[in-house]
Amino acid sequence: MKFNPFVPNGIAYPGMFIGRLDEIQTIEQALFQTLNGNPQHLLLTGERGIGKSSLLFYADLVARGEIEDDHTNFNFITVSTDLAGISSQVGLIKQVARELRSKLRQHQKLQDKARKVWEFLSNWEVLGVKYNARDDELDPDELLDDLVTICDQLIGSEQFDGVVFLLDEADSPPAAANLGEFVKVFTERLSKRGQPHLLLILAGQSLLISRLRESHESSLRVFQIVDMHPLEQSERRAVVQRGISIANEKNERKTAISDDALDLIAMLSEGYPHFVQQFSSSAFQVDTDDKIDIHDVSTGAYSENGAISQLGAKYFSKQYFSKILSSEYRKVLDYMATHGDQWVSRKDIIQNCGVASTNVDNALMALKSREIVLADDARRGFYRLPTRSFATWILAVGRSGREDFFGDSA
Ligand SMILES: Nc1ncnc2c1ncn2[C@@H]1O[C@H](COP(=O)(O)OP(=O)(O)OP(=O)(O)O)[C@@H](O)[C@H]1O
Ligand SMILES: [Mg+2]
């Protein structure tokens, strides 16, 4: 048995975390600004699996001084939580307060002032301890005021550089939770109290932007938007190589990987970090001779329960059904996938995908009704795939069994 270092199902731990240099610089800059009293709040957006949670975790470590920045060793107290399952503003404030309390508890040496905040938090009615009030009986505005006071006092205790809220899955609360209003009112009340040492970093799918706007027209103005893209070519290879070297530190039997296997993973993944991790993990798993080559990559990808089917089940479950494997639908999807998530006209599809026009129409209707393809509201006859990573997956599925798959060496 060998330790498999790849993490297709979890956030990239610091040793495994590659790239994102611009994003990290932006985060460090935002922390530095906050330290100096002029916070620049951040919104990390991007497709599912692009690496938002991993970047948030990295930001958490930098903010706490666990990872040293070039210039400064920060000492923020961080409140990291995810907002999945939050349905109201009261729920949101409670969740943040609970996390803050548990963070403070972990600090061994809380000085007097900060200890008072912790004690206050522990008794806070918002946690339902005293009154056991239901969420809908609590006044969100009062709670927000309490949270402002708590943060104000905590920062005032001068034990920390300030407070950083890292809120993941920020696109998931419904409009009723009023996240945009929370952001706007919370940051404004803090600044009115002359308290500028608080930073918000929110992460979520791109939908988060419209959610915030819906909730409060000007809440977006508070944020700098950091849109995350797939990894660069060299970073894709670096993720695989890093994994292999982590494995080689732990395992007695060392693993090698061929250059063309690295390239194949980089190509199949198109830089989506969750794809890189999954293809690498599956290749590592099927390798038996301690040398990962392109056959290991392809067996790992295409075998039953291999990388392709794992990714399909995890990320595209709605789309992942037998119909798209029928050859005419596949041809339509294959052609559309060459355009990523860009609009393609029906005419273009008919001309290029090799399927008769009535069958293309049937396929588009069926795919649209299952939300596998989207139709343009503004222009008749234009369609696209919902995400680029879905297009990447479709293309990867399509490569199985193709003669060119193994390149020249097959
Ligand atoms: N910078 C990176 N280097 C290496 N691997 C990464 C990196 N970022 C993310 N990953 C890997 O990619 C996968 C997805 O990462 P992560 O969970 O952070 O994405 P996400 O955008 O939060 O996804 P979701 O939208 O599903 O919450 C994980 O397997 C993670 O280990
Ligand atoms: Mg995530």
Distance 87 CA to ligand 2 centre (A): 18
Domains (range + CATH), the chain: 20-227 (3.40.50.300), 233-313 (1.10.8), 321-399 (1.10.10.10)
d(CA 391, CA 381): 19
* For the CA of 13, the nearest atom of ligand 1: 31
Q: Is 252 helix (H, G, I), strand (E, B) or coil?
A: coil
- Strand blocks (E) in 125-269: 163-168, 198-204, 223-227, 256-257
State the DSSP H helix or E strand holding residue 384, giving kind and residue range, or none if neither: strand 382-384
Ligand 1 touching residue 35 (CB < 6 A): no
- What global pTM score does this model have? 0.89
Instruction: Chunk the chain into consecutive blocks of 10 residues (it has 410) and report each block's average pLDDT, rounded to whole numbers.
Output: 94 93 95 94 95 97 87 89 92 89 79 74 59 66 86 86 96 90 92 92 93 87 94 96 97 97 93 95 97 95 88 72 68 93 96 94 90 91 91 83 38
Ligand 1 touching residue 17 (CB < 6 A): yes
d(CA 223, CA 199): 10
Q: Which long-range contacts (CB under 8 A, 24 or more apart) does 130-135 make?
A: 135/88, 135/90, 135/91, 135/94
User: Burial level of 67, CB count in 10 A (0-12/13-18/19+)?
Assistant: middle
Please give the pLDDT value at position 136: 67
* For the CA of 235, the nearest atom of ligand 1: 3
Ligand 1 pocket test, candidate residues 11, 284, 387, 388, most atoms within 8 A of CB:
11
Ligand 1 touching residue 11 (CB < 6 A): yes
Please give the pLDDT value at position 343: 97
Residue nearest to atom 25 of ligand 1 (CA): 48
Distance 181 CA to ligand 2 centre (A): 23
Please give the pLDDT value at position 324: 60
Alpha helices in 64-178 (DSSP H): 89-106, 112-123, 140-156
* Residue 336 neighbours by CB under 8 Å, 6+ apart: 344, 349, 373, 383, 384, 385, 391, 394
* For the CA of 56, the nearest atom of ligand 1: 18
Ligand 1 touching residue 314 (CB < 6 A): no
Ligand 1 pocket test, candidate residues 53, 228, 245, 279, most atoms within 8 A of CB:
53
Q: Which of 210, 166, 211 is nearest to 76 (CA)?
A: 166
Please give the pLDDT value at position 318: 60
